[in-house]
Structure 1
Amino acid sequence: MPKKIIIILPLIFVIFILLYYWHGLNTPFVASGESKNFIINKGEGVKLIAKNLREADLIKSNLIFELYVWLNNKQAEFKAGEYILNTSLNIKEIAEILTRGFAVNKDIRLNMPEGLTITEINERIKKSGFKFGDDFINLADKSIGNWKLSATKPDFLNDAPDNADLEGFLFPDTYLFFNDATAEDVIDKMLQNFELKVTEDMRRDIKTQGKSIYEIIIMASIIQKEANIDETGKGGNEEAGIISGIFWDRLKFGQALQSDATLSYIFTDKNPQHTLEETQIDSPYNTYKYKGLPLGPIGNPGLEAIKAAIYPVKTEYNYFLNKLDSGAAVFSQTYEEHLRNKAKYLK
């Protein structure tokens, strides 16, 4: 091969790479802009920020974004916060906004832990500085049938009965709002977050199992209260998966779930155990008295509980209880073993 060609080919390759980088750097995701909220949490690195930007359809290339950040030594300059980014911005402009800290000035931070009920969320909202009083609970308690008539209704609500409320679908998270936000704004953001977190793959797996999203959310809301869950997902949450497997098996074999968490929902208490008399209360949420799932969710579960409900762990266990001191689950295969564990851990 002539020397000129040997020299020219690498040169052409370098020019091509430079042009590709320059084009990717300066070309927006789309020419016509759409504003989107984007959040950087404390401790997030360049790679995760780039991944989140790509998944939000704000940039076309993770690699070019990361390369630009590293070449310009901006990797330590990202500021945590919530931003409004437009799809007409290019990578350089987005990096400038995120590193200079032009975050949205939101006035109210609402921290919503996993497992809260609509009533408990409402109490937090009333203490957070919103101006709409009880509008939230009035809307959240409104039947899903009314929400289905909305032009912006999320598709996942189609799985729920028309007379159900939004219990179970208000996704737990930390939210930022302007102080003039309405109850509709708060609910819409929680529903949008649910739609984002419960992925298409998860919904496809639910459908493959012959279950509905509503059934999964009911089960997840019970698991949320019965299991010790690491909400970061780093702990594996095997305990939640095993409890899920036990509960689904009970339904499969026509047995009652016998979950004290459902009784706590009825009595609005936090008791890990209930009396024999309490287990006889006539309520569609009483899983001691009635077989099958309760009428609806008993709270708003987090992502890890939802995953546990979708992906139960199959074991030989048939029973479990939670230690009074730590809340950790103790599993057993036979009823006799379960009784021994009750005598050991619940007295």
Structure 2
Amino acid sequence: MPRRPPSRRPAPPDYGLDLFDERPPSPPRRPSRPTRPVRPPRPPQPPPDESPTEIIRLDDDYDYDDFDDYPENAEEVRAEPEYIDPDDPDDPDDDEPVGTGRRRRPLRWLVALVVLALIGGGAWYGIDAVFGYDDYQGTGESDVLIQINAGDSTGAIGQELAASGVVASAKAFVKASEDNSKVLSLQPGYYVLKTKMSGAAAAAKLTQDGSRVGVLQVRAGTQLDDITQPDGTVTPGVFSLLAKASCADLNGRSTCITAQQLRDIAARADLVALGVPDWAASVVSASTDARRIEGLVAPGVYDVKPGWTATELLSNVLRTSASRIQAAGLTGTAKFQGRTPYETLVVASLIEREAIKPDFANVAQVIYNRLGKAMRLQLDSTVNYLLDKPVVTTTDEDRNRPGPYNTYRIAGLPPTPISSPSVEAIHAAEQPTQGGYIYFVKCEKNGQSCFATTDLEHLQNITLARQRGAY
């Protein structure tokens, strides 16, 4: 059969490719197996010729055997330029199967990054395993005092220990603390350790009972001097508590300061220099009695450093107390119920010793009402203050004793507070309940009081208290 001549088609548009090749264009290859259609590359445009000829495109059934001069290796010699179309999310042709060139590139980058991460991690592990960290052996040598501050992390504690010569490196302590959960609950304060301890030994010592020293805890209602209980036991006062907190044994040397040394400083030192607020120092600075700082040590927990002098110990406590008292509302310009800040502090100390918290505001009402009527306060707590007795009752002999604190014999407030008042007692002194109460008596075994506005009501409450065995 005669072959049909190839159809003549117009030349493709010029895309600007500057290719100089006199060989005939490569014929399209027959696909060996069905493939997905691929967008054809842009065909090259030959350079302009003085005698241009038409480009003849062959049909699919063209017989290539008639062209003996077509090079057999034309496919290898001449590579067609590849056109890479950017990804189009709306193009279904982008969903190529795994294994194509387009999908392999991100996978190769991911594999490369994973390999680099593994190499880096292995290098770090190797460095840590080979070089490690410095650490002493054993439980240490000489005593040393270190301080842990509020909010310190394990790393910060380790750095403090390393700087003090306790451990060879902060990391030694941090690593050892991973196996000791008690380290996370360490309280701020001072601790006795030893130099050249292993990280594990330091962690164990810090969390051991008795390692923390210099702890002073003052409860509400505590007075400066000791109190003898009815059963003969002694409740230590602020001076004794502070003296005990000053004690530590460092390399065989005691750091204890005595209660008498503290009393001497309280009696003769410059109160403002010690940290007493001006509004209090101006009232009591002329006194030479150690009790002039009564009530100025606020309840709470204090961290004092063993080894401080008596002046340093007392000054640290008084300065911290001044901040706490001021936070409760007592400042130099404050006025409550027509009273000065110091008088308000005195009232608060009486409330603390005479009542329990539910009755604080009512007791304050009684005190202010009696002061307003020029009535004597007649409080047993003030009589017992000089006697160092904790009971709320007094004898006729006690009530007849002369003295500035005997409110049965003198009118008005005592010269100083009689205890360390709590924040709640200070607030009650600042804002008492309003009413006509001028009497109260403890009428319940739990400490609650009964209040009255007349003598008759008061006598009835006393009878009721005795029937209930309240006192």
Using the size of structure 2 for normalisation, the TM-score is 0.47
**Distance in 1, Cα, partners of 2:402 & 2:427:** 31
Q: How high is the sequence identity, in percent, across the aligned residues?
A: 24
Aligned twin of 1:192: 319
**Distance in 2, Cα, partners of 1:213 & 1:106:** 36
* SS of residue paired to 1:284: coil
Once the 2 structures are TM-superposed, how far is the Cα of residue 325 of structure 1 from its aligned partner? 2.4
1:135 to 240, 261, 265: 261
CA 1:322–1:152: 2 relative to 1, 3 Å: closer
**Distance in 1, Cα, partners of 2:366 & 2:360:** 10
Q: Which runs of 5+ in 2 are unaligned?
A: 1-147, 152-182, 191-205, 226-236, 248-255
Q: Over residues 79-137 of structure 1, what are the superposed CA-to-partner deviations in whole Å (9 max), with x where a residue is unaligned?
A: 563379xxxxxxxxxxxxxxxx9xxx952211111122212112223444531112212
2:406 to 286, 295, 303: 286
Aligned twin of 2:35: none
Q: Over residues 212-270 of structure 1, what are the superposed CA-to-partner deviations in whole Å (9 max), with x where a residue is unaligned?
A: 222111111111101113xxxxxxx4x10110111011111100011110011022112
Aligned twin of 2:421: 301
Asked whether the 8 Å contact 2:219–2:300 carries over to 1, the reply is yes
1:124 to 215, 235, 241: 241
Amino acid at match of 2:277: P
Aligned twin of 1:321: 441
**Distance in 2, Cα, partners of 1:186 & 1:304:** 26
Asked whether the 8 Å contact 2:304–2:316 carries over to 1, the reply is no
**Do residues 241 (structure 1) and 358 (structure 2) align?**
no
Asked whether the 8 Å contact 1:224–1:302 carries over to 2, the reply is yes
Asked whether the 8 Å contact 2:274–2:318 carries over to 1, the reply is no
Q: After alignment, is 210-219 or 182-191 more displaced?
A: 182-191
Asked whether the 8 Å contact 1:106–1:178 carries over to 2, the reply is no
Once the 2 structures are TM-superposed, how far is the Cα of residue 326 of structure 1 from its aligned partner? 1.9
CA 1:247–1:193: 2 relative to 1, 3 Å: same
Q: Which runs of 5+ in 1 are unaligned?
A: 1-36, 41-76, 85-100, 230-236
CA 1:312–1:181: 2 relative to 1, 3 Å: same
Once the 2 structures are TM-superposed, how far is the Cα of residue 284 of structure 1 from its aligned partner? 0.6
Aligned twin of 2:464: 344
CA 1:39–1:255: 2 relative to 1, 3 Å: farther
Once the 2 structures are TM-superposed, how far is the Cα of residue 163 of structure 1 from its aligned partner? 2.5
Once the 2 structures are TM-superposed, how far is the Cα of residue 154 of structure 1 from its aligned partner? 3.4
2:297 to 162, 166, 170: 170
Once the 2 structures are TM-superposed, how far is the Cα of residue 177 of structure 1 from its aligned partner? 2.0
**Distance in 1, Cα, partners of 2:302 & 2:274:** 24
Aligned twin of 1:157: 280
Once the 2 structures are TM-superposed, how far is the Cα of residue 330 of structure 1 from its aligned partner? 1.5
Higher helix proportion: 1
CA 1:318–1:208: 2 relative to 1, 3 Å: closer
Asked whether the 8 Å contact 1:106–1:176 carries over to 2, the reply is no
Asked whether the 8 Å contact 1:39–1:82 carries over to 2, the reply is yes
Asked whether the 8 Å contact 2:369–2:437 carries over to 1, the reply is no
Asked whether the 8 Å contact 2:275–2:318 carries over to 1, the reply is no
Aligned twin of 1:109: 215
**Distance in 2, Cα, partners of 1:175 & 1:255:** 39
**Distance in 2, Cα, partners of 1:154 & 1:295:** 17
Aligned residue pairs, count? 247
CA 1:335–1:153: 2 relative to 1, 3 Å: closer
CA 1:39–1:313: 2 relative to 1, 3 Å: farther
Aligned twin of 2:78: none
Larger Rg, first or second structure (1 or 2): 2
**Do residues 221 (structure 1) and 338 (structure 2) align?**
no
1:312 to 420, 432, 445: 432
CA 1:151–1:246: 2 relative to 1, 3 Å: closer
Amino acid at match of 1:125: L
Once the 2 structures are TM-superposed, how far is the Cα of residue 159 of structure 1 from its aligned partner? 4.3
Greater relative CO (CA pairs within 8 A, separation 6+): 1
Once the 2 structures are TM-superposed, how far is the Cα of residue 344 of structure 1 from its aligned partner? 1.7
Using the size of structure 1 for normalisation, the TM-score is 0.63
**Runs of 4+ off more than 6 Å:** none
Amino acid at match of 2:224: I
Alignment of 1:38-49 (within 5 A): 39=150
**Distance in 2, Cα, partners of 1:287 & 1:325:** 25
**Distance in 1, Cα, partners of 2:457 & 2:275:** 52
**Distance in 1, Cα, partners of 2:245 & 2:315:** 18
Aligned twin of 2:139: none
**Distance in 1, Cα, partners of 2:418 & 2:326:** 22
* SS of residue paired to 2:268: coil
Once the 2 structures are TM-superposed, how far is the Cα of residue 166 of structure 1 from its aligned partner? 0.8
CA 1:302–1:159: 2 relative to 1, 3 Å: farther
Alignment of 1:7-156 (within 5 A): 39=150, 79=185, 81-82=187-188, 107-119=213-225, 120-130=237-247, 131-133=256-258, 134-142=260-268, 146-148=270-272, 150=273, 154-156=277-279
What is the alpha-carbon root mean square deviation over aligned residues? 3.0
**Distance in 1, Cα, partners of 2:277 & 2:150:** 22
Aligned twin of 2:396: 276
Asked whether the 8 Å contact 2:278–2:332 carries over to 1, the reply is no
**Distance in 2, Cα, partners of 1:212 & 1:38:** 36
**Distance in 2, Cα, partners of 1:159 & 1:210:** 18
Asked whether the 8 Å contact 1:287–1:294 carries over to 2, the reply is yes
Asked whether the 8 Å contact 1:106–1:177 carries over to 2, the reply is no
Once the 2 structures are TM-superposed, how far is the Cα of residue 152 of structure 1 from its aligned partner? 5.7
**Distance in 2, Cα, partners of 1:79 & 1:167:** 34
